[in-house]
Amino acid sequence: MKNLSLISLIVFAAVVGGIVGSLFSGFIIRAKDTATGIRTKEVILVDENNSPAARLGFVDGGPVLQFYNKDSTVALQVGVDRSRKFKFLHFFGENNRILAALNSLENGDTTLYLGDRGWEGRVILGAIESDIPTNEPSDSWGLVFRNRSTSPLFSVMIGNVPTPSAQIRLVRANG
């Protein structure tokens, strides 16, 4: 009987000690926990069919948030190209074709591109980039309508070299 009481006391002490130790260690761990976020390289949200609906990850080294169509093709993309230092918003159509894009360069130049399923960049509004890459703000801003060969059909340009100037240019469809 004495042995049973001693065993019961030991078991009781072990249980109480385990509970107290568990509570105390949880308090200490919480007191030291300073994490303020989740660190990962990719997060994928899936729909009820386990198909990707959205993805936060990296594309060509830059962070990108992508939303997908039902057929798992990209519908919308928002991101930063860290190597070329520009921000973008792209709307996609069939065959991964960009239907509309808003791009903002590091120097502050921003351009809106509008297209359709026939061709990308049919209409360009904003900073018109030079053929020579530069980090300087664009001196040419305008509205350009292009044909399939990307040659301008009609453009309204406003420049700032060295004084403000404006130009309207109409081009025949055959050149």
47 and 33 housed in the same domain? no
Task: Give me the pLDDT at residue 65, please.
Answer: 95
Average pLDDT over residues 89-117: 87
CATH code of the domain containing 127: 3.90.930.1
139 and 56 housed in the same domain? yes
19 and 66 housed in the same domain? no
33 and 53 housed in the same domain? no
How many domains are contained in the chain? Answer: 2
51 and 88 housed in the same domain? yes
Q: 175 lies in a domain?
A: no
Q: 1 lies in a domain?
A: yes
Q: How far apart are CA 71 and CA 66, in angstroms?
A: 14
Average pLDDT over residues 79-103: 88
pLDDT band at 18 (very low <50, low <70, confident <90, very high): low
- 153 versus 22: the higher-pLDDT residue is 153
Q: How far apart are CA 138 and CA 110, in angstroms?
A: 10
pLDDT tens profile 136-170: 556 678 888 887 766 777 777 776 544 555 555 55
Q: How far apart are CA 114 and CA 14, in angstroms?
A: 72
* pLDDT at 110 > cutoff 80: yes
| Tokens representing residue 59 in the block | 């594309």
Cβ contact 121:113 at 8 Å: yes
Q: 135 lies in a domain?
A: yes
* pLDDT at 31 > cutoff 50: no
57 and 32 housed in the same domain? no
48 and 33 housed in the same domain? no
Percentage of the chain with pLDDT > 90?
25
26 and 91 housed in the same domain? no
* 31-40 CB contacts, 8 Å cutoff, 24+ apart: none
Task: Give me the pLDDT at residue 175, please.
Answer: 46
Task: Give me the pLDDT at residue 22, please.
Answer: 59
- Host domain of residue 2: 1-37
pLDDT band at 47 (very low <50, low <70, confident <90, very high): very high
* pLDDT at 53 > cutoff 80: yes
20 and 74 housed in the same domain? no
- 62 versus 19: the higher-pLDDT residue is 62
69 and 111 housed in the same domain? yes
